[in-house]
Structure 1
Amino acid sequence: MNDPKQIVLAEPRGFCAGVDRAIEIVERALAKFGAPIYVRHEIVHNTYVVNDLKSKGAIFIEDLAEVPPGSTLVFSAHGVSKAVQEEARQRGFEVFDATCPLVTKVHVEVAKLAREGYEFIMIGHKGHPEVEGTMGQLESGIHLVEDVADVAQVQPSQTEKLAVVTQTTLSVDDAAEITAAVRARFPSIREPKQQDICYATQNRQDAVKLLSRQVDVVIVVGSPTSSNSNRLAELARKLGVPAYMVDNAGELKPEWLEGKSRVGLTAGASAPELLVDQVIDRVKSLGAVAVQKMDGVQETMKFPLPKGLKL
């Protein structure tokens, strides 16, 4: 049996600025106001992070009716609809919004263009909380497309004023293909000045493209609900490399590594480095002797915290 010899670490990987900020908002709220702090939806899509915050006194809910009056409430990094914002206001909660600023940027653009009479085509995954939040910025006039086939089915009420927006955590290549189909059907569509897919999603996908050329198998650390983590595994497979997603080191199966001498390792934007370290230890226990770090983009982005959380 040919055991793994080398681990190659993708760069960048793991936490992005929006995730760092969202987790810090919950931790600071707990430190400042004490437990419990209520969080609408998982703050980020990672099992370890959510369980860690639960142990510190965060309570994750989907329905605001579950939150007692006078509580402190945090909106998750994925953003929420106008209806949820309004309900939170009516119920009188102290609200801290952990929506990633790059998602907020999409919300602001939608609101601005809607005032100018635009309808929207949104490229994204149905049911994902970010998509629900963005589509929920307006009462109507946003049409969701998940793939190229959906583009042919869209029936906007007019085509003079149409704009396209995108979920921030999509596959860059898939989104480009769907955008091209949208453009072909609606040649006058307005596109964002800068694409909506965020820098961290783009950087992690670019790193997997480089990584896949150098390894025999790719392991992605990320939870099943994490859109950007799923895209990393999909991308490696598209490039012809077997790829597996694990929530933690315990899920890694030794047979995945049989006959694979170089193991590529990356992590989605909501997965902590601690989990990556545990996977490294597990692969070492199966025979790997060396860890090599790829060269890659150094991310320096930092987002400010909301007012009222300075300790």
Structure 2
Amino acid sequence: MERADVAKELGHFLRTRRERLGPEIESGVRRTRGLRREEVAEKAAVSREYYAKLEQGRALNPSSEVLEAVAAALLLSGDEVMYVQDLVARLRGGGVSEGADGAPDRVGARLVEAIRDRPAFVVDQRLDITSWNDMTCELLVDLESLPPHHRNLSWLLFTNPEVRSRCVEWDEAARQNVALLRGGAGRHPDDRRIAHLVDELSVRSSSFARLWASHDVLGRNYGSRIFEHPRAGRFEVHYDALQLPGSYDRHLTVYSAHDSVGERALSLMRSICDARRQDETGPSRTHR
């Protein structure tokens, strides 16, 4: 991605953050959607002209002080500030190293192999699933049966009916998923496979296209999910995502039971996996 394109991406992001802020009200009439540029400029103590240049993608070397002030004026979250910092690093010729595409995920494979009693998987900046254990397949879908380019969390969530049916609060999961993918795109603006994935999903799913256009950003996070499993029933799990060591942008996500209902559900799923493994003559279903 050229510097001018990165500057335009930064400008578009700042505009969407400005427009989400509450408008001022005059005589009970909604004056405009979000704040005006001059209002943000005043809050950030920068000139109207320079803030306009930022939103228009014409500022190629914004200072850290200006960006900090703008971030405060726009009430950016920690993840959103990191997204801005990633874009600015690209403007200055830095940023995240891409590493070797398709490099073996040895660290992630070792970790998920050691985790047997709960779903665990590793994703990269594209949300491609690079390693997983058999509990992940039991919870979501049989990843081994899918083409490699479909082993992607965004693709599964927006195009796979089985995954969608098992995710009870799909709307919230979808929103967070797209925000995570946007964060990965910010860290790797030159990743053509992310751009291709976004283009494909935008055509296949109007929900994805709408969420991508919202420009929300989320870093690696933690929280809870509710699943509906055909045999284990409905249960809630916690999830935690941790960055893995090494030069590649990969994160390990592990699901753990929220309560006794979740414990029983995961235990049943473990029994299903063990029974299936006994019927198989092949190696362990941990993949890399």
TM-score range, shorter chain: under 0.3
Identify the structure with bigger relative contact order (alpha carbons < 8 Å, sequence gap 6+). Answer: 1
Q: TM-score, normalised by structure 2?
A: 0.26
